[in-house]
A and B are shown apart, each in its own frame.
Chain A
Amino acid sequence: MRLRRLAVLATGLLLVAACSPSEVPGEEPADAVEDASEAVDGDEPSGTVRFLIAENFWADWTPYQSTAQSQSRLNHHIYDTLLTFPSGDLGDPQPHLATEWEQIDDDTWEFTLRDDVSFHDGQPLTGHDIKASVELASGAAGEETVLQGRWVPTTVEVIDDHTVRFEMESPFASLFNAIRQTPIVSAEDVEAGSERLAANPNGTGPFILESETETIKTMVVNPDYWGGPASIDTLVWEYVGDAQTRVNALLAGQADAIDRVPPEHLPTIEEADGFELISATASEQVNLFSVPNRVPEWDENPDLRRAVMLAIDHEALVDSLVQGESVAAQSFLPSETLYYSPGEIDYSQNLEEARALVAEAGLEGLEFDVWAASGFLPRGEQVAEAIVANLNEIGLEARLVTADVAGLVDDSVDGTGLLYHISWSSGGDPDAAAGIYASPNRWTHGDDTIDRLVQEGKTTMDETEREAIYDELQQYLWEELPHIPLYYSDFTVAYSDELQGLRVLPNYETNFYPASISE
């Protein structure tokens, strides 16, 4: 009997031992993370911040091979850029790695670098690092990168260790946006090859990557940061896809900040004590994107597209479904974009006029599919459902197809759908915002006017002329309606009021460098 009791006790002990979490390689268990928040005297960095994000980490650390927002936000903490835009306004650059900059002529810019910057591995920053980074990012090095679409090929002449000169293939008006998106990596790492770059994020930024898993990236403060060390000692980024789980974790005190707060949870957080919200609207445009050559009537008949635009109750979508700080779209560019100008034609819902346009065109009963992805844009399926109901009210035979994001993207490539409920985020730059409507990509209709205006916008250096080009482009798109603009997304970050100084810019950039957390 005693033996049996011993066996039971031993089993119990084994179970308790088994109840400790298995450690993922390189990952700190949560209690270890808590331990890291020990009080530190004076102005020494202290405290751990846990930030739960809605978008998974898509890429490795290979620079310039991803435009995913999650990767970009990580990069901004580990790497620096030449210039910074603290207000989110691309027209208001501030010194960062570069202290001075000057446009020599249409194709040439010169930058003077700080002389007190080191990479995390201790190497000093020189002009050779800028050359390696920019030539790789812009495609001038001959390697295909995802980011090269935001650049024109640019070669860099190193004048001396702290002076570089950019020579662009053509005048390039969106240079500041390209700079904003281009983290500076070490020339030595670039020479070592993509494997080293992928595995070893060696930047000059305020945080150093300490450990990582598929879903968790843990950073610690860079004590030698040229701008002074951050106040936060440890910064944990964690992907938690389920919105309810993120909100629960924040309210239960297990997370310090969360992003993409669903609008239906905003009142709960607002009413709870000890939490704050920052909403950034107007940098992500949600459209019904059409794919050319799927339904000839759509490509050939502008009245059909106008009828669809008039059938949709944009205000109701925003007020009743999407909610939060979302705003009905008034242009093909988000309202925070440089040179934004709202469309002049009024497309307030008018079912009668829409029905008449469809009837006059003889398109009653026209069948096509509208695709929406579940678990992507907030209430995407309900929005698409409401739109399909509107379209069927004016005599069309629209069908709603729902899938996950992967399924939707797949159909947009080689499927049969016509309209896709998706978004395009552009960070405030008009070229980045308008580029999606121009050739060559699968969403474009090969419209010469759009292609010409987008190209001119990219290469026109005179600000007044450039503004006029983007105004013309926006009015043209608004009249032609190659796609159906819907609304600008609400992107809300919620955080504990123990976290102070967190900066969320209108372009969604989330910056923890100026933040601190109470013990």
Chain B
Amino acid sequence: MALFLLRRTTQMIVVVICVVTLVFVLLRIAGGDPARLMNAADASEEVIAATQARLGLDQPLAVQYLYFLRSIVTGDFGRSFHGGYEVRDVVFAALPNTVALAVVTVLVSTAFALLLGIGSALLRGTLLDRAVQVYVSLAQSTPSFWLAVMLVLVFAVNLSWLPAIDFTGPISFVLPVITLMVALTPILIRTIRQSFVETLERDYIRAARARGVSNARVLMIHTLKVASLPLITLVGLQSGMILAGSYVVEVIFNWPGIGKLAVDALASRNYPMVQGSVLIAAVAFVLVNFVVDILYSVLDPRIRLGAEA
């Protein structure tokens, strides 16, 4: 176990360093001098140069990169180009909002997908099964940005039942979570249904039933445990994706999370803020995957943690 943890931690550090390095390089390759964006179009070259010096952009790229690595190691992500705020403070203030959105979305989506997926597997070929298939097809073909706007127009603007924007309390989750849920659940439902259909036909399930084990026990203990392995993989990946990439929903709902922070910062080439946001998103992503690996071994003892495998 200790060896596994050491190996995975090393892997995670390498992955995070690779990601932030890639972002550092891509930001510079993408072009767009922040100093020019901050000044008027007719600003003199002297003024531009003074701004570049103030932002540290007059240093060679290698020096900027070393400063950047040092800032990661010291836990000081630098200061925002706009307003001079500590990037660390801003990013860590936004992180819980994104995590809250991700947790609620994953819980609601998983519960919803389990309900429809299991129901659909148990009632194969029935009207319910067909209705679920129709939902899956519709949900898969619905663009998130369109759905989000429609939900706001109906439930916030026309009916005034729910807030259109902001994160002010539990009620604020309803529309963003529905938007994300519609995007996430089709593949979850398909996976659960398929997994249950296959598992229910296994010999050991038949044997359990033959031994007189109740249907509920067969379903909840014998089937769910096996069928949940692919589900955990998917939920793990999707959690990471929401943590790192729910920016469309965050922008439309003005959700004060990391996604919106990164998008706003990218438009103005606010390098420290983009780098800080991506760093935290990358760490969150690898941590979630790490937890998924641990859960795997708990659910299926045949999967050993690393060295013995």
Contact = CB atoms under 8 A, between A and B. Distances in A.
A410 B32 contact: yes
B30 to A, nearest CB: 7
Contact of B44 (A20, A56, A407, A440): A440
Interface string B238-268: 0000000000000111101000010110011
Contact of A144 (B47, B153, B261, B273): B47
Interface in B77-103: 80, 82-85, 89-90, 93-97, 99-100, 103
A422 B165 contact: no
B104 A409 contact: no
A470 B41 CA distance: 21
A109 interface: no
Given A22-B96, A59-B82, A410 B252 contact: no
Please tell me the size bucket of the interface on B. 35 or more
B103 A443 contact: no
B156 A252 contact: yes
A1 interface: no
A27 B149 CA distance: 26
Interface stretch (A85-93, A211-219, A359-367, A382-390): A211-219
Contacts of B80: 214
Contacts of B264: 56, 214-215, 239, 241
Interface stretch (A242-250, A304-312, A322-330): A242-250
A13 B42 CA distance: 56
Contacts of B166: 30, 254
Interface in B16-61: 30-34, 36-44, 46-47, 50-51
Given A67-B40, A214-B264, A406 B31 contact: yes
Contacts of B251: 241-242, 245
A519 B89 CA distance: 35
A6 interface: no
Interface string A60-72: 1000011110000
B92 to A, nearest CB: 9
A172 B97 CA distance: 52
Given A146-B40, A146-B47, A19 B170 contact: yes
A43 to B, nearest CB: 30
Contacts of A57: 82-83
B168 interface: yes
Nearest to A247: B157
A404 B264 CA distance: 12
Contacts of A422: 41
B41 A443 contact: yes
Interface centre among B41, B82, B107, B164 (most CB of A within 10 A): B41
Given A248-B157, A422-B41, A24 B152 contact: no
B75 interface: no
Contacts of A405: 32, 37, 267
A413 interface: yes
Contacts of B256: 21-22, 24
Interface in B146-166: 149, 152-153, 156-157, 160, 163-166
A434 to B, nearest CB: 10
Interface string B265-286: 0011100010000000000000
Contacts of A249: 164-165, 254
B169 interface: yes
How big is the A interface, by class? 35 or more
Contacts, number: 176
Interface centre among B165, B263, B268 (most CB of A within 10 A): B165
A31 interface: yes
Q: Which of A19, A23, A214, A409 has the most CB of B within 10 A?
A: A214
A29 B96 CA distance: 14
A244 B150 CA distance: 11
A219 B261 CA distance: 22
Given A15-B103, A144-B46, A214-B273, A413 B152 contact: no
B173 interface: yes
Interface string B207-220: 00000000000000
Nearest to B43: A146
A140 interface: no
Which of B84, B152, B166, B254: most chain A Cβ within 10 A?
Answer: B254
Contacts of B84: 60, 198-199
A19 B104 contact: yes
Given A22-B93, A58-B82, A252-B156, A435 B42 contact: yes
Interface in A376-415: 404-407, 409-411, 413
B90 A31 contact: no
A412 to B, nearest CB: 8
Contacts of B290: none
A16 B36 contact: no
Given A22-B93, A56-B267, A57-B82, A248 B168 contact: no
B157 A149 contact: no
Interface string A8-35: 0000000110111111110101110000
A443 B267 CA distance: 23
A436 B42 contact: yes
Contact of A410 (B33, B163, B268): B33
B82 to A, nearest CB: 6
Interface in A182-240: 198-199, 212-215, 239-240
By Cβ-Cβ distance, the 5 closest A-B pairs, closest first, are: A406-B32, A252-B164, A22-B96, A410-B31, A24-B93
Interface of B: 30-34, 36-44, 46-47, 50-51, 80, 82-85, 89-90, 93-97, 99-100, 103-104, 107, 149, 152-153, 156-157, 160, 163-170, 172-173, 251-254, 256, 261, 263-264, 267-269, 273
Given A214-B82, A215-B264, A407-B30, 10 more contacts: A18-B103, A21-B168, A25-B90, A214-B83, A242-B251, A242-B254, A252-B157, A405-B37, A435-B42, A443-B41
6 contacts: A24-B93, A25-B93, A144-B50, A245-B164, A249-B165, A441-B43
